[in-house]
Amino acid sequence: MSFSIRFEHLFQINFDIFLNDLEAIQLFKTCKITYYHNYPCYKCKTVYSVDVFLALMHNGNPKLGNNSFLPRVIQLFGVQIGNSDSGAGALAKALAVNRDVSTLYLQSNQIEASDAFLLAKALEANKSITKINLESNYIGDSGASSIAKALEVNKSVTRINLYDNKIGYEGASSLAKALEVNKSVTTINLGGNQIGDLGASSLANALEVNKSVTEINLRFNQIGTSGASLLSKALEVNKSITEFKLGYNSIEDSGASSLFKALEVNKTVTKIDLNSNQIGDLGASSLSKALEVNKSLTSIDLYNNKIGDEGASSLAKALEVNNTVTMIDLYDNKIGYEGASSLAKALEVNKSVTTINLGGNQVGYSGASSLAKALEVNKSVTTIVLYVNQIGASGAASLAKALEVNKSVTRINLGYNKIGDLGASSLAKALEVNKSITTIDLEYNKIGDLGASSLAKALEVNKSVTTIDLGHNQIGASGASSLAKALEEVNKSITTIRLRGNQIGDLGASSLANALEVNKSVTTIDLGGNQIGDSGASSLAKALEVNNVVTKIDLCDNQIGDSFVTSERFKIF
């Protein structure tokens, strides 16, 4: 079985001296050395050879020539060291005496409760580890209890990740008990488990007295209204938590209302994640009341809930007076024209929101028009997402008019809106004068060669756009040629262009290849799924022989033959 351990150093080892050391010779009997940036990466042949590594982790680190070997970070990703005395057992034994390792990554290692017990024993003695990641293992309640016991006495660990570990109520309760006395842990990730309302209750009790935890992740944990209500009581008195993640649970309006009521008095939480719950208009109304008085919350994630126009209007009313929220995510709710119009009215006076995500709703042309009017006067929004909103060419035209005068928006996502050539042309006209947009996403919009030609003309004069996504449209060789001309002759700002899923073919690829021979700004180009054959690929390969800027090119899902793939020219990809 092959796996690797990476040690990060404060310096680069002198390998001429290193190889003369007897400890190094012993190490090289079972390991092959390669480089990871400026750091050595040791690749062991078998799990048992981990013992050779661990010998280097004990007190009184052996001198490698003139340098002390100072491992700081150990990474073991998916190497299955679990349930093994020579794997997890040996690692635990070394960690018990090691004084240098500060970060331990042990994700996806089939670590079970027995292994967690040994690692926990090591943590009871270890005083250097500050971060430990056990994500996607099998420690269960018993293993979590062992870790919890260690945390009751450990004073160095600040971050612990137990995501996806089959931990239920009992394990959560043990960890909660530990948090009642532990004073060092600031971040704990219990996402992807099954702690339920009972586990949430235990953690809530702990958070009422704990003064160190600032971030807690309870996503994917089957927490319902009862659990949310108990956690809300903790938030009313807790003064340390700044980030609270409760996404992907089963919290309905009543549970959400309890949490939002807590935010009326809580003064520390800055980010709350309630993504993918069952919060509707009543919950949104409760949040609105909280936002009118809360002065700490900056980020609200309500992605994939059940908020409609009424709830959106309530939130809009709060945003008219709130001056702390900078990001609000309402993607995939049930917001239509009326809700979008209310939010637009709020944005006309709000001065704090920088990111608003209304993707996956049904704002339509009318909602887009209202938002466009707001953007004509708003000076704070930098990112707006209207992905999948049925805005059409008319909605795109309204937004384009706003972008002609708006000076704050840097990123706009209008993907999946059927804006067509007409909508693309309207946006292109705006880009000719707009100086703030850096990223524009127009994928899945039925844009053809005419729209691409208009956008290409805009790129000839625009100096701010660095990323443009035109994937999955109807752009052929002619449209690709227009874009290529812009990239070849004048544009010096585009670094990323995505044309995946169009029909540019060999002719379009050849035009873009000509552009890449002289263009000095594009670093990433996506041409996947474009009916490009050997001829087009050959043109691109020839361009890359002289181009020294492109770092990534995607040609997957084309019609490039095996003979070309195995050719010497293709090796430059």
**DSSP notation for 385-438:** E--SS--HHHHHHHHHHHHTT--S--EEE--SS--HHHHHHHHHHHHTT--S--
Question: Does residue 53 have a pLDDT over 90?
Answer: no
Domain membership of residue 551 (yes or no) is yes
- Domain end call among 122, 140, 166: 166
Domain membership of residue 333 (yes or no) is no
Q: How many Å apart are CA 237 and CA 207, to the nearest integer?
A: 9
Q: How many Å apart are CA 9 and CA 64, to the nearest integer?
A: 13
Can you say whether residue 392 is alpha, beta or left, with left for phi > 0 and alpha for psi between -120 and 50 degrees? left
Q: Give the count of beta carbons closer than 10 Å to the beta carbon of residue 347.
A: 24
Q: What percent of the chain has pLDDT over 90?
A: 79
What is the average pLDDT across 97-106?
84
DSSP H or E run through 75? strand 73-75
Question: Does residue 341 have a pLDDT over 80?
Answer: yes
Total H helices, total E strands in the chain: 21, 23
Domain membership of residue 30 (yes or no) is yes
Nearest CA among 341, 389, 349, 401 for reference residue 367: 341
- Domain end call among 147, 166, 185: 166
Dihedral pair phi/psi, residue 478, rounded to 5°: -65, -45
Domain membership of residue 12 (yes or no) is yes
For residue 544, give both structure tokens: 């890359």
3-state SS class at 264? coil
Which pLDDT band holds residue 199 (cuts at 50, 70, 90)?
A: very high
Domain membership of residue 93 (yes or no) is yes
Choose the weakest-confidence range: 57-71, 238-252, 395-409: 57-71
Question: Does residue 475 have a pLDDT over 50?
Answer: yes
Domain membership of residue 356 (yes or no) is no
Which pLDDT band holds residue 71 (cuts at 50, 70, 90)?
A: low
Average pLDDT of the chain is 88
For residue 4, give both structure tokens: 């690797």
> What is the reported pLDDT for 16?
36
Scan for tokens 């290692």, then name that residue: 109
Higher pLDDT: 248 or 49? It is 248
Higher pLDDT: 446 or 79? It is 446
What residue type is 76 in one-letter code? L
- β-pairing verdict for 39-44 and 67-68: unpaired
Q: How many Å apart are CA 445 and CA 219, to the nearest integer?
A: 34
Question: Does residue 93 have a pLDDT over 80?
Answer: yes
> What is the reported pLDDT for 173?
98
Question: Does residue 464 have a pLDDT over 80?
Answer: yes
| Cβ–Cβ < 8 Å for 376, 403 | no
Higher pLDDT: 29 or 459? It is 459
What is the average pLDDT across 265-282?
98
pLDDT (tens digit per residue) in 119-143: 999 999 999 999 999 999 999 999 9
Which pLDDT band holds residue 84 (cuts at 50, 70, 90)?
A: low
Radius of gyration of the chain (CA): 28
> What is the reported pLDDT for 258?
98
Q: How many Å apart are CA 494 and CA 452, to the nearest integer?
A: 15
What is the average pLDDT across 339-350?
98
| Cβ–Cβ < 8 Å for 410, 439 | yes
- Domain end call among 101, 132, 166: 166
HSE, side-chain direction, 13 A CA sphere, residue 151 = 32
Q: Which domain holds residue 510?
A: 460-573
Question: Does residue 415 have a pLDDT over 70?
Answer: yes
pLDDT (tens digit per residue) in 522-542: 999 999 999 999 999 999 999
Choose the weakest-confidence range: 377-386, 495-504, 563-572: 563-572
Q: Name 284's Cβ contacts closer than 8 Å, sequence gap at least 6.
A: 302, 307, 310, 311, 312, 314, 315
Question: Does residue 302 have a pLDDT over 90?
Answer: yes
> What is the reported pLDDT for 565?
55
- Give the predicted TM-score (pTM) of the model: 0.89
Q: How many Å apart are CA 490 and CA 469, to the nearest integer?
A: 19
Question: Does residue 438 have a pLDDT over 60?
Answer: yes
Distances (CA, A) of 299 to 86, 273, 286, 329, 380: 45, 8, 16, 8, 15
Beta strands in 246-376 (DSSP E): 271-273, 299-301, 327-329, 355-357
What is the average pLDDT across 257-273?
98
The residues pairing with 355 across neighbouring beta strands, listed in sequence order, are 327, 383
Which pLDDT band holds residue 39 (cuts at 50, 70, 90)?
A: very low
Domain membership of residue 245 (yes or no) is no
Q: What is the CATH number of the domain that holds 19?
A: 3.80.10.10
> What is the reported pLDDT for 101?
81
Distances (CA, A) of 392 to 194, 251, 369, 374, 472: 43, 35, 11, 19, 16
Q: How many Å apart are CA 269 and CA 202, to the nearest integer?
A: 20
Q: How many Å apart are CA 140 and CA 144, to the nearest integer?
A: 6
Domain membership of residue 231 (yes or no) is no
Look at the chain and report how many structural domains it folds into. 2
Question: Does residue 252 have a pLDDT over 90?
Answer: yes
> What is the reported pLDDT for 97?
80
Which pLDDT band holds residue 562 (cuts at 50, 70, 90)?
A: confident
- β-pairing verdict for 383-385 and 39-44: unpaired
The residues pairing with 439 across neighbouring beta strands, listed in sequence order, are 411, 467
